[in-house]
A and B are shown apart, each in its own frame.
Chain A
């Protein structure tokens, strides 16, 4: 059984990684550096970093707030909120992108108003940020809710009874209690934000140097039969994946509790609805 599992892992995980790096370096290190140093490639890297730098902190804040509200308080519409948080996992990213086109595109609901006021959302950076945020919406909240629920409210109530303010309680008690879970969620959120293709592809318009993120740039290069360059940029994304995995393992080692939360969205949806 172990052998089968290892063979499977090798075929589907290790082999593609090896292919990515070997293809990227197929025309030599010089070509690899040139492909990465290309201004258009750099523009894609910068845009990807910018999008992640905006969407990850926002979703981190939102995820923290939502998890806090859901885990520590009872209120009407709680289950609806949980369902809404799950929505991006359930909807295909392409559909999500199309929804943004329908809302903010030239012929969309708010399109004419936005154009009249000189605001571009679709086929511009704001659209890419919106799409990325939608897709990465659940990661932090989903990671924190079970942890916070398991911890209960006793620590917070103790802090309040000792005279701490709400902010002190959050900062000195709640946050340290979930720090590894939060970091874990941020890590997954970031990996997805940088790697997202479908939703971003629909809203970006593929304008080179302007609205091309790294995954989109890889696709364009590949479609132009510029295989080595495509794999060179792809190798950067693969590196990100490896770093994410390393970080994830480190945190799971630090906080064994995290190992119980499966990373696969579909599994999670099923589990947490019950």
Chain B
């Protein structure tokens, strides 16, 4: 199912949760609504589901205006952050619920229901847990039951609110990959809400970055990461070093770099410019001609090494952070206190 939002706005009292959102989601997409808390991502998801009504604007499902349709008519499966499993029902009964409540004419026979539920439990790798109650399951298992229950009614659109928010890191990582594979198998148009940029980049094929109830940028994960539309998106997707642009004799500099042309080409026209550089875009070496700096700290983290660097001309309390692979670090044999030179492979000014 394809989804289009046209000028959707929603207020809660004085608070504008969502303002003038236009969005197109093609059929079969796996889209992430990404943003900090309070950016309106859950509200937007609930509006698409039909759990909240927009104050203004339209929700189009497959091109038809569905703004006033109740949730049942929209053919959506909704998975809540805390799963909302029916606690007095077994796993089997939970998954079968959507089939059991169908009108007598449409309801499958008991054997057909049992078969379908069995297949779904197989799909979510919980075939052995059919007779257990939600309280006897782990967080990850509950999440998968909730997903199976949503899939039981053959939704054309799957909506997930912070699907991995309440899980620990290890389970999170496994479930993300699993969800990705599941989507590749089922091709159900899916939208999930997250505040975790890593999760959005890893799982989704489209990312919508929201800020203060408005869409900041839409694009593929690589696009949003490599070509952020604003400093907000740049900052939100991954770590950044922030360096103030200095001006001398009518020209602009980033460290020793003359960036007057780049500054003139930037989209924003604000007076004070800032350059954002990701840690892995800073190359640390000893070749002359770079930006001189001193190594302040070395932190090996698994396969990578992070370095704190005091670059000449920058305030001492804000060292630059650089990132390199363990191998490169070993080859360079850097030591704390050593004088090095930095090469900025990439940076952006806003």
Contacts and interface: CB of A to CB of B under 8 A. Distances in A.
Interface of A: 154-155, 157-165, 168, 172-173, 176-177, 179
10 closest Cβ pairs, A-B complex: A162-B98, A154-B84, A164-B101, A161-B78, A176-B88, A158-B84, A154-B80, A161-B71, A168-B101, A163-B72
Interface of B: 49, 51, 70-72, 76-78, 80, 82, 84, 86-88, 97-98, 101-102, 149-150, 152-153
A88 to B, nearest CB: 32
Contacts of B76: 161
Contacts of A172: 86, 97, 101
A157 B97 contact: no
A28 to B, nearest CB: 50
A177 B82 contact: no
Contacts of A165: 101
B78 A157 contact: yes
A155 B87 CA distance: 9
Contacts of B153: 162-163
A3 to B, nearest CB: 39
A195 B51 CA distance: 45
A157 B51 contact: yes
13 contacts: A154-B80, A158-B86, A159-B97, A160-B70, A160-B71, A160-B72, A161-B71, A161-B72, A161-B77, A162-B98, A162-B153, A172-B97, A177-B88
Contacts of B82: 154
Contacts of B72: 160-161, 163-164
B94 to A, nearest CB: 9
Given A163-B153, A177-B87, A158 B78 contact: yes
A154 B97 CA distance: 15
B51 to A, nearest CB: 6
B304 to A, nearest CB: 39
A172 B94 CA distance: 11
B97 A164 contact: yes
Contacts of B80: 154, 157-158
A157 B61 CA distance: 20
A162 B149 contact: yes
Given A157-B51, A157-B78, A162 B86 contact: no
Contact of A157 (B77, B84, B87, B149): B84
A172 to B, nearest CB: 7
Contact of A161 (B49, B86, B87): B49
Contact of B71 (A154, A157, A176, A177): A157
B106 to A, nearest CB: 9
Nearest to A158: B84
Given A161-B71, A162-B150, 9 more contacts: A157-B84, A158-B80, A160-B70, A161-B51, A161-B150, A162-B77, A162-B149, A162-B153, A164-B97
Contacts of B77: 161-162
- Kindly name the residue among A157, A163, A173, A179 whose own CB sees the greatest number of chain B CB atoms within 10 A: A163
A161 B82 CA distance: 16
A163 B49 contact: no
A157 B70 CA distance: 11
Given A158-B80, A173-B86, A163 B102 contact: yes
Nearest to B159: A161
A54 B118 CA distance: 47
Contacts of B78: 157-158, 161
Contacts of A168: 101
B169 to A, nearest CB: 24
A158 B81 CA distance: 12
Contacts of B49: 161
A161 B87 CA distance: 17
Contacts of A177: 86-88
Contacts of B98: 162-164
Contacts of A160: 70-72
B348 to A, nearest CB: 41
Q: Which residue, A168, A173, A179, has most C-beta atoms of chain B within 10 A? A: A173
Nearest to B72: A163
Contacts of A176: 86, 88
Q: Which residue among B76, B84, B152 has the maximum number of chain A CB atoms within 10 Å of its CB?
A: B84
A55 B51 CA distance: 37
Nearest to A157: B51
A163 B70 CA distance: 10
